Amino acid sequence: MTYADTDFFLALIKESDWLKTRAARLLERYKGKLWTSVFTIVEMLLLSESLRLDTERIVVDVAAIAEVRDVDERLLLLAAHFIKEYGLRTFDALHAAFSLGDEIISSDKVFEKVGLKRIPLEE
């Protein structure tokens, strides 16, 4: 198996990228033998706004290209949905998704937008 980092996926997913041709060749060579980590998804979600990438599409595309190890991809897709549909920032969306619907202690009211019960940190 071969680990692929963010640059590889960005080259494939972005409409145009100076590394696109090489990335496509490497994808053909290593197809079915690629893996990555949650950190790749997180980095791509952070870059999504500046690069104008669809957050949900990022998760789906990366998961189609490589195995995302040690994480439930459905939680990443849920976080991407929270970013796209509710305007949550990347880490708030990840916290919301990974809370698995449990109450969340926070001073940030944004969690209520996605239906989570928030235990206020502030008094």
Domain edges within the chain: 2-87
pLDDT at position 86: 96
Name residues of the chain where pLDDT drops below 50. none
**3-class DSSP state for residue 100?**
coil
CB atoms within 10 A of CB 9: 23
Residues contacting 31, CB < 8 A, separation 6+: none
Given a contact cutoff of 8 angstroms between Cβ atoms, the answer to whether 96 and 106 are in contact is no
- Model pLDDT, residue 123: 80
The tokens describing 8, both together, are 């590889």
Choose among 77, 79, 76, 70: nearest CA to 116: 79
pLDDT attached to residue 52: 94
